[in-house]
Amino acid sequence: MEQSDAQTVARRSSSSGFALFQRPNESLATSQRSGDATHRQGGLAEPRQIANVARRLVVISNRLGNIRDLSQAGGLAVGVADALAERGGLWLGASDEHQDSVASDQPLIRLERLGRIETAALILPREEYSLYYNGYANSTLWPLFHYRLDLVNHRAEFLDAYRQINARFAKALAGLLSGNDDLIWIHDYHLIPLGAELRRLGIRNRIGFFLHIPFPPPDLFAATPDHEELIGDLLQYDVVGFQTETDVANFRRSVQATNSTTFDTNGAAEANGRTVLSKCFPIGIDVDSFSRMANDAAEDVQIDSMRRQILGLKQIIGVDRLDYSKGLPGRMQAFARLLERHPEQERAATYLQIASPTREEVSAYADIRSQLEATAGAVNGKYADLAWTPIRYIHRAVARSRLAGLLRASQVGLVTPLRDGMNLVAKEYIAAQDPADPGVLVLSRFAGAAEELAESLIVNPYAVDEVADAIAKALVMPLDERIARHGALVKRIKRNDAAEWRRAFLAALAGEG
């Protein structure tokens, strides 16, 4: 994307120069706008005709994607940016910049425009943001929604900051809306109360919420003292979207248990004088563009792959944020069990784990890191020799194009989370394969993706020997079986791709779905 396309929306301040900060009511509508849609190669999608394009789309997520360079971006950022590019619209998220001093009550926003997309970065008080993000979002809700009550840290100041930050988002957004017709699409667990805060400010627009992570069963959900408020918040939306049918069912049961509201066979319920639709919208990827990226692998990835071919070494790969929900220590143990139970795989298979750093301020994440380093060290210490390193463990983010090449060069994809909303790596692994000689996906039954990807080898990640045996089966699977399984999986990920995900959600949000 050309840098020069970008335009910082700034209004001349009363003194000299440009004020980068803009109060929302000095609105974008009065700022100079650039005309045409922006096209990109490997970046934003070209605008396409879709239903209900007349209504402006307003997206809110905790973090803004970098719309000037989506080459590193994953599913959510690309999916959202493409939806905005198709119809034009606004994306509001928290800025990386923070206010240090006492919080201002007026929203501070940095506005930018690139083609038809406008971004609004909300500058939030540092301490309050940390209590909201590291605190309630990632120390309370994330473990709770991933069924990890043992890791939930519940503190009153986390919840206060969470509600306060959501109220700040609402105030900022209210000033940026261009009317009742804007379609508002809110993303993920950081912003559950945002719809209710907007309603409190008198916003009557259609508002949709999509949860990217699982929704827990009622007995677990009820363990948070705030569960009734959270259900009340979710019932303020017009559409509440989930990744899987399991999540939808869990949500509906919690609603019923909390306030006796029932859903009809279409998933609709009456609440607060409005119809709330709850439905499953499985997120997908842009299959063709990921396949292309995998096919154009970097030279050193190809050389590494050729070297392994010569040595007769097969590669097993895992790619995850270093998060305790992803089941990484168990996965390494399963690889160690593979070597014990299937000794013919010694020096015949190597396991590459890319575990990108994430949320390092939260203590549970430091624990998982040391646990993983210890396991990798123990397995390598026991088995490695001069010619063979059983586990290669990379604790760094890897460029997306390189990642695609590495997935293609691996004969087994290991995706074994203990619980996951969807898991896009599973879909990326399938998209990356050579259809004439594809690898095999070993997939946890507790990843949302397992609802769609039945032709992978489905495993229970808690059953270490079962995972080890599935890896062994994948390593020796005959070509015709690999091709048949891969062909079926590709069909599925193409049917439920990123474009279909946003089309279906936006149709429901516009009241057409």
Active-site annotation, residues: 212, 420
**Comparison of 58 and 498: residue with beta carbon closer to ligand GDG:** 498
Task: Decide whether 354 or 468 has the Cβ nearer to ligand GDG.
Answer: 354
Q: In 3D, which of 117, 134, 109, 118 has the Cα closest to residue 23?
A: 109
74 binds ligand GDG (CB under 6 A): yes
**Nearest alpha-carbon partner for 88 in 108, 67, 61:** 67
Q: How far apart are CA 290 and CA 54, in angstroms?
A: 30
Per CB under 6 A, does 286 bind ligand GDG?
Answer: no
Question: Under rule CB under 6 A, which residues in 236-275 are in contact with ligand GDG?
Answer: none
63 lies in the binding site for ligand GDG (CB under 6 A):
no
Least distance from C-beta 142 to ligand GDG, angstroms?
9
Reference 449, options 458, 440, 439; nearest CA is: 458
Q: How far is the CB of 431 from ligand GDG (least distance, A)?
A: 11
User: In the complex with ligand GDG, which residue's Cβ is closer, 129 or 429?
Assistant: 429
Which of 40, 56, 342, 400 forms a contact with ligand GDG (CB under 6 A)? 400
Helices (H) and strands (E) in the chain, counts: 17, 18
Beta carbons of 320 and 326 less than 8 angstroms apart: yes
Exposure letters 379-402 (e unless 16+ CB within 10 A, then b):
bbeebeeeeeebbebeeeeeebbe
CB of 231 to ligand GDG, least distance (A): 21
Kindly provide the residue ranges of all beta strands, DSSP E only, lying in 126-181, ordered along the sequence: none
The token pair at 198 is: 């907007």
Close Cβ partners of 146 (under 8 Å, ≥ 6 residues apart): 213, 214, 216, 325, 418, 419
Between CA 84 and CA 79 the distance in angstroms is 9
CB-based contacts of 373: which residues, under 8 Å, 6+ apart? 393, 395
Q: Which stretch binds ligand GDG (CB under 6 A): 37-45, 129-137, 379-387, 391-399?
A: 391-399
- Other Cβ atoms closer than 10 A to 66: 15
Please identify, using beta-carbon distances, which residue of 226 and 428 lies nearer to ligand GDG.
Answer: 428
Binding footprint of ligand GDG, residue count (CB under 6 A)? 23
Does 317 participate in binding ligand GDG (rule CB under 6 A)?
Answer: no
Among 86, 428, 452, 469, binds ligand GDG (CB under 6 A): 428
Residues in contact with 273: Cβ distance below 8 Å, sequence separation at least 6, in sequence order: none
x/- site string to ligand GDG, residues 171 to 210, per CB under 6 A?
A: ----------------------------------------
**Using CB under 6 A, which of the segments 72-80, 192-200, 302-310, 381-389 binds ligand GDG?**
72-80
**Least distance between ligand GDG and beta carbon 502 (Å):** 12
Nearest approach, Cβ of residue 96 and ligand GDG (Å)? 18
Give me the residues that bind ligand GDG (CB under 6 A), please. Answer: 72, 74-76, 212-213, 283, 319, 321, 354, 356, 397-400, 403, 420-425, 428
